[in-house]
Structure 1
Amino acid sequence: TRGWAELAFDGIHAVQVHARYQGSIEAELELVDAVRNEVGDGVEVWRAVSMTTPEGAQTATALLGSVDKLVLDAYDGGSGASFDWADIPEEVKDHALLAGGIGPDSVADALRAGCLGVDLNSGVEYPSTAGQWAGHKDAGALRRAFTTIRNFHT
């Protein structure tokens, strides 16, 4: 996996690495090191981890000292599916964003899971039945989600 340096132009704060499980913890650590070497200092490396795989929780825990943040998702990301948030190791929560179909109706529950924050994507998009707007962000859904987030933290 190469080409990460192309993403690290001025103003980029972090790169989020979405790739299938590399086959071993050692290979995961090598991937993170390779990305970090390509993007250089000053750009954070965030690793998405599929929590629906048997090695998900172990991988997340093993990566704690090597990544700046974890993005805990179902599958390989972008599926809009959730996973059992009870499977998140306690020591991982302060270093992780929770992802996976989170939208206005589920964001409060996601925040109660105790992670650092949430990753909003498909859960705030128009559905596939929305014609030309399908897959585009829904401003109303975003507004409701952010209102819930603000109210949760007050």
Structure 2
Amino acid sequence: MPEPLIKYCGNKSLRDVQVVAKSKAHYIGFIFANSKRKVSPSDVNKWLRQVDIRDKKTVGIFVNAELKEIEEVLAKVPLSVIQCHGTESVDFIKQVKNKTSLHVWKVIHHNEQGLQMMKEFAGVADGYVVDTKVANIWGGSGISFDWKSIPLYQHEARKQRVPCFIAGGIGPDNIENLLHYDIDGFDISSGIELDGKKDHIIIQTIEKWVDTCVERTK
């Protein structure tokens, strides 16, 4: 299997950014929506000026934000990707793309209508994150959805020729099982934390599993 794309999300301190900067992640995520991991654009700007994140791309996470709010963040933070994590419409995603000229990912909260929703964003979304929606928590719950559905989402994303990341409840204890689904990528937040902070040992453990699984399939 090809090496999966890695996104480590919910970075909320200079230390978190320093830890993730040394990882093999392709994407480093920052949450600008109401969340226990919410950060301010000014802080992220300051961290990114202090840390060499190498060739990692930055992802900004928004939940049902107004276009003006996204623009205000972009004025301070050099984002590579905008991730819409709420109930944003196809038209709104088009507006964001036209206004910012950036790639926009749409989060699909797994349910019976999830696959149909992904189809509705075909030709508009530049990528997807399939996550678990729990009560009033939009993401970062540490709870997995039924992974038997992954092939359906993955197949649709490949038809659209865009990446599909799997999120929700991923950690060192189940990453090997997840990789058996031949995913494009995975997105982890709480699963790489110890006492609420990104942990380099946990990250190394996950990345060793990734290397092992990729090597096995060569």
1:84 offset after TM fit, Å? 1.0
Query: Secondary structure in 2 aligned to 1:54?
Result: coil
Which residue does 1:44 correspond to in 2? Answer: 103
Letter in 1 for 2:84: V
| 1:21-60 equivalent positions in 2, closer than 5 A | 21-22=87-88, 28-38=89-99, 40-41=100-101, 43-51=102-110, 53-60=111-118
Letter in 2 for 1:7: V
- Higher relative strand content: 2
Query: Secondary structure in 1 aligned to 2:197?
Result: coil
Which residue does 1:91 correspond to in 2? Answer: 156
Which residue does 2:209 correspond to in 1? Answer: 148
Structure 1, gaps ≥5 residues long: 23-27, 127-133
Query: What fraction of aligned residue pairs are identical, expressed as a percent?
Result: 28
CA contact (8 A) 1:7 1:15 kept: no
Query: Secondary structure in 2 aligned to 1:110?
Result: helix
- What is the aligned counterpart of 1:61 among 116, 119, 129? 119
CA contact (8 A) 2:163 2:185 kept: no
| 1:87-126 equivalent positions in 2, closer than 5 A | 87-88=149-150, 89=152, 90-92=155-157, 95-126=163-194
- Looking at structure 2, the residues matched to 48 and 7 of structure 1 have their Cα atoms a distance apart, in angstroms, of 19
1:77 offset after TM fit, Å? 1.4
Alignment of 1:136 onto 2:194: no
- Looking at structure 1, the residues matched to 166 and 188 of structure 2 have their Cα atoms a distance apart, in angstroms, of 9
Provide TM-score, normalisation by structure 1: 0.79
- Looking at structure 2, the residues matched to 64 and 114 of structure 1 have their Cα atoms a distance apart, in angstroms, of 21
- Looking at structure 1, the residues matched to 147 and 204 of structure 2 have their Cα atoms a distance apart, in angstroms, of 24
Indicate the larger mover: 144-153 or 85-94.
Answer: 85-94
Higher relative contact order (CA 8 A, sep 6+): 2
Residues 31 and 5 of structure 1: CA distance in aligned 2, closer, same or farther (over 3 Å): same
Which residue does 2:143 correspond to in 1? Answer: 81
Which residue does 1:16 correspond to in 2? Answer: 83
Provide TM-score, normalisation by structure 2: 0.57
Query: Secondary structure in 1 aligned to 2:188?
Result: coil
Letter in 1 for 2:106: R
Runs of 4 or more above 3 Å deviation = 7-11
1:61 offset after TM fit, Å? 2.5
Q: How many residues align?
A: 138
Alignment of 1:4 onto 2:74: no
